[in-house]
Amino acid sequence: MTSAHYQANRLAESPDSLLGQISRIVTDYSEFEGIELHCAIRDTLTDLRHLCDIHGFDFGELDGDAHEGYIEELGAAHE
């Protein structure tokens, strides 16, 4: 199973998870603004950087931690 399939199954099983909520928000934003989904994801990442600034977090550090978690989840998807 690919990571994409694994995450799609996860999304279907837990639509109220953080991933599910983010997916709905970003999709709704994309449709509301009339932009493609990849542009809405880019805008979301930009706003997450702003949110880190507001709260005094280092986005780069959190992104590095998130990447490690992503790699771990990729491994779990292949098991």
Model pLDDT, residue 1: 63
User: Do residues 26 and 41 lie in contact, with contact meaning Cβ atoms separated by under 8 Å?
Assistant: yes
Model pLDDT for residues 3-19, shown as the tens digit of each residue? 788 888 888 888 899 99
CA atoms within 13 A on the CB side of 3: 8
Domains in the chain: how many in total? 1
Give the structural domain span for 17.
Answer: 3-77
- The runs of H, that is alpha helices, within 34-58 are 37-55
Quick one: pLDDT band at residue 78, thresholds 50, 70, 90? confident
Predicted structure pTM score: 0.83
